Amino acid sequence: MSQTASPDLLKKSGLAKKLVVANWKMHGNLEKNKVLLAQYIAALSGLKQTKIVVCAPYPYLAQLQQLLQHTNISWGAQNIAKNAEGAYTGEVSAAMLKDFGCEYVIVGHSERATAYCESDENIAQKFVQAKQHGLTPILCVGETLIEREAGLMELVIGKQLDTIIAQHGAAIFADSIISYEPIWAIGTGLAATPIQAQAMHKFIRNKIASIDKEAASRLKILYGGSINPQNALQLLVVSNVDGGLVGKCSLEAQGFEKICAAADMAN
């Protein structure tokens, strides 16, 4: 029988605090980022209940470090090498991300997994690299529309998680982040319904809890896929939704601010 983490346990561990992560994807330039970050700082510095993270393209990590270091906003990258060091042209290691003050890194985003043929095994290696170097991985999992229509979402996500569990046990999910990102919801304007999100987040938490209850209670599970100011609150109040991973609506300060305010309200 599967075990679930009690809400009390979550509160005690501080995990009740919501997390909103901006995934800028391949957007921005030095000038635009400067303006957007100044707007983020002005709008979000008052938030007490919600943790904010910005994940930017590699070349701008130094800029994030410079502009965010004395603020309540943390930063991270959108990808990481699966190896620690060596002859891997074009790759960026976990230690390099640490050099620029990154605390977080997105791992296995579906836009990379499909375009660059990242296997579940490669993604598992990247996840472990992040953990070994003290970065918090944000592991993206999710199903395609065809898989959802065939009722295969639990099977697909279960397999993505099993690859990591088989190599490193479920304990590795303690103090990690999983983002449920249905592929059909990313960039389409069609977010999962709160009921769909609730079911998948519960499945993910229960799966980890069935092996390691403590790890499950220390895991944050975000929702990602067409979050916007209109749907943010209804998604973020759902049980087992610990925050959001926001693409398009993080590129414009007003919308992002509204999503963060919804998260603060949902705490």
Distance, CA of 193 to CA of 211 (rounded, Å)? 28
Are 91 and 58 in contact by the 8 Å Cβ rule? The answer is no
Three-state DSSP class for residue 57 = coil
Residue number of the CB closest to ligand 13P reads: 247
| C-alpha R_g of the chain | 17
79 near ligand 13P (CB under 6 A): no
* Shortest separation between residue 84's beta carbon and ligand 13P, angstroms: 25
Task: Between 4 and 228, name the residue whose CB sits nearer to ligand 13P.
Answer: 228
186 near ligand 13P, rule: CB under 6 A: yes
Closer to ligand 13P by CB, 191 or 209: give it: 191
- Please tell me whether residue 245 binds ligand 13P under the rule CB under 6 A: yes
Give the number of residues in contact with ligand 13P, rule: CB under 6 A: 14
Applying CB under 6 A, which of residues 51, 131, 207, 248 lies at the interface with ligand 13P? 248
Give, in degrees to the nearest 5, the angle at Cα 38 between 21 and 27. 55
Is 61 a binding residue for ligand 13P by CB under 6 A? The answer is no
Q: Are 138 and 245 in contact (CB under 8 A)?
A: yes
For residues 205 to 244, the per-residue mask of contacts with ligand 13P, x marking binding by CB under 6 A and - elsewhere, is: -------------------xxxx-----------------
Rule CB under 6 A: is residue 181 a binding residue for ligand 13P?
Answer: yes
Residues in the chain: 267
Question: Should residue 114 be labelled a site residue for ligand 13P when binding is judged by CB under 6 A?
Answer: no
The question of whether 109 is a catalytic residue gets the answer: yes
- Residue tagged active-site, from 111, 118, 143, 181: 181
Show the DSSP H helices in the chain as ranges. 7-12, 30-44, 61-68, 94-99, 110-115, 120-132, 145-149, 153-168, 194-209, 213-217, 232-236, 253-266
Give the type of residue at 53: V
Residue with tokens 């009390």: 8
Q: What angle do CA 138, 191, 220 make, to 5 degrees?
A: 25
Q: Which is nearer to ligand 13P, 22 or 215 (CB)?
A: 22
Q: How far is the CB of 232 from ligand 13P (least distance, A)?
A: 11
Please select the residue that binds ligand 13P; options are 56, 94, 204, 246, rule is CB under 6 A. Answer: 246
Q: Looking at residues 93 to 112 of the shown chain, list those that interact with ligand 13P (rule: CB under 6 A).
A: 109
Q: Is 198 in contact with 239 (CB distance < 8 Å)?
A: yes
Report which DSSP code applies to 191.
P
Is 182 one of the binding residues for ligand 13P (CB under 6 A)? no
- Residue numbers of the site for ligand 13P (CB under 6 A)? 23, 109, 181, 186-187, 224-227, 245-249
- Residues serving a catalytic function are 109, 181
